[in-house]
Amino acid sequence: YTPTPDDPAVRPVPLPRDPRHTPSRGTVRVVLRTNLGVIPLDLDRAQAPCTVQSFLHLVRHRFYDRTICHRLTSYPTLSVLQCGDPSGTGEGGPGYRYRDELPTGLPPAPTDPTGQRRVYARGVLAMANAGPDTNGSQFFLVYANSALRPNYTIFGEVRPAGLRTLDRVAAGGVAATPEDPAPVDGPPARRTEIRSARVSPGAGRS
């Protein structure tokens, strides 16, 4: 984990500790409690150990509490809800970054004739980034199969109750503006606030 002094934390949080061995087995459940319903997440340590460790670090320091999900997309090939920035602008982070743990073996996206994009399936939990190895605190939840280059770390999945909440957010669409009455990318029309993010005791296996 590398500090980013030029991009300081938008909410005070220490740098994660680098253990001698990053836990790389088992799953951990985290529950996001939002104003529109719960979003239970199963984090997969084997899939992305450093990402899971960072996410749990931020959860334990209440970094995600009282934050909004600032972006909803409804493109035919990109259907995600993006969260994790306490500033609500899409520019904020935790004051550090870390390397990608990119997925392998994702199926090719049938909508992409170039063969470069892969299917990020409904229910995938992945990190947002601003380029290679720039992971911080922002993450996205996939509510319908999406076609993306495999440049985004997948570190878990949304459980069925969470998908129902995501569907409620998605059904409201993207907030319209006078300049764009039918947007496909922007703040969700149904304001979505993460009131708390907590590790669920006994729900995962270590």
Q: What confidence tens digit (pLDDT) does each residue in 139-196 have?
A: 999 999 999 999 999 999 999 999 999 999 999 999 999 999 999 999 999 999 999 9
- Domains of the chain: residue spans and CATH: 2-12+28-199 (2.40.100.10)
What ranges in 4-67 are assigned the alpha helix state H? 49-60
> What is the model's pLDDT at position 18?
82
pTM exceeds 0.75, yes or no: yes
* Size of the chain in residues: 206
Instruction: Give the number of other CB atoms < 10 A from CB of residue 99.
Output: 14
Residue 202: pLDDT over 80: no
Render pLDDT for 59-110 as a digit per residue (tens, 0 to 9).
Answer: 999 999 999 999 999 999 999 999 999 999 999 999 999 999 999 999 999 9
> What is the model's pLDDT at position 205?
46
- Which of 86, 89, 64 has the alpha carbon at shortest distance from 195? 64
Q: CA 199 to CA 56: how far, in whole Å? A: 8
Instruction: Give the number of other CB atoms < 10 A from CB of residue 202.
Output: 7
| Gyration radius from the chain CA atoms | 16
